[in-house]
Amino acid sequence: MRMIDLIEKKRDGETLSTAEIEWFIQAYTVDAVPDYQTAALLMAIYIRGMNRRETVDLTLATAHSGDTLDLHDVAPFVIDKHSSGGVGDKTTLVVQPLVAACGVPVGKMSGRGLGSSGGTLDKMEAVDGWTFEMTVEKFKKQLAEIGLVLAGQTAVLAPADKKMYALRDVTGTVASTPLIAASIMSKKLAAGADAILLDVKTGSGAFMPTVEAARDLAQVMVDIGTDAGRKVVALISDMNQPLGYAIGNGLEVQEAIETLRGGGPPDFWAHCLAVADHMLLLAGKADSLDEAKELITAVRQDGSALTKFRQMVVTQGGDGAQVDDPDLLPQAKFVEPIIAPRSGTVAGMNTGEIGWATVRLGGGRFVKTDEIDHAVGFVLPAKIGDEFSKGDILGTIHANDRDKLAQAQTELLAALSWSDETVDPLPHFYGVIQ
């Protein structure tokens, strides 16, 4: 086969065969297809789309582009969780230890930032010494010993996705239903989870801007899971405003720790609780959401979830003192308030632009080689529906560069819309697909 034929075929709106998709993934994995041709095919898929069969084929081929993990020799049942991406979404850092503290092993492979969305690995690297790199043997050993693993994509698990993930981030091909579904589900299938909880975001800060698009993505991923023999449930959640208050890697880790300690923003805790509840239900640890809520609330209150998080940090080389005292996490040189430019009610937010403003502060990447500044970002308690007077403090900007700080101030305020009328708060969730 020739790569140019696949590119032209998809460019012209035709469907790719199972054999063609499998050939492409195998060839790309061994560097027999260059990035520029892969980028062209990704753009053709982005524009033309894929049908269900193509999407399932792409997922399975990607999942089998390297080794697949069987965890049953160390854990009888393993659950995983994945978010489709959002601004301020540090849910994994809280939900994983909550569920693990309830006795359900959680083994997760996470990714870096994608577009305006922050990545779980980027957030955790704010902790000194913490590493996501590990062998399959270490993954299994850690899962057996503490019941909690937060790893990156290894060279042997779904290697094709690891390469394409980085390429999509810098070629304008992120917001594609088949590419997102295949990326997420290939990692989940390769990592050996028996059940998967999907948190599919919708809104101005999500790759799926409408509830309908989010439902479509969720249904595709649930269908893939069904075809692969996995238990999958998808929650459709709101991303029309940042989740919680903190936006930016180190700031989000600090907020996650505060939440595990019993504090944190109310909207963020409500979100984490719902996700964790469904994970316990999926795992058979609880017979109802009410029972699951009691279990999750208990491990938060008694400190065992925070202890589990600290165990994961230290086991993966991180500094436990930064968990004990989050003020030891990276701190920005400049912290300045965001001032309300007028009186009124916050009517809307361009959440994606808030994410990009964080990237421009240094909290994300425009190209694969960019270094991340883990100290920068925003703390924005203001929510849609909140009322303010002119001059009130909406939040704070954390920066290490004066010019970038000034730019971020302008960009953040431009991302907010105001009303003189009362505005209803937004729901946290729009539905469940299973």
Residues designated as active site = 82, 161, 168, 183, 187
Cβ pair 405, 351 in contact under 8 A: no
* Whole-angstrom distance, CA of residue 121 vs CA of residue 130: 10
* Whole-angstrom distance, CA of residue 51 vs CA of residue 14: 10
288's tokens: 């109802």
Angle between helix 266-282 and 289-301 (nearest 10):
120
Residue 378 sits at φ, ψ, to 5 deg, of -130, 150
How many Cα atoms are found within 13 Å in the side-chain-facing hemisphere of 189? 30
* Helix (H), strand (E) at residue 116: none
256's tokens: 């996650």
Residue 4 sits at φ, ψ, to 5 deg, of -60, -35
- Looking at 151-265, list the stretches that DSSP marks H as alpha helix, in order from N- to C-terminal side: 159-169, 177-190, 211-227, 249-260
Q: How far is CA 192 from CA 73, 195, 241, 275, 294, in A?
A: 11, 9, 33, 20, 28
25's tokens: 């993934």
The bridge status of strand 377-379 relative to strand 429-433 is unpaired
* Whole-angstrom distance, CA of residue 237 vs CA of residue 156: 32
Alpha-carbon Rg of the chain, whole angstroms?
21
* Whole-angstrom distance, CA of residue 264 vs CA of residue 254: 9
Cβ pair 80, 197 in contact under 8 A: yes
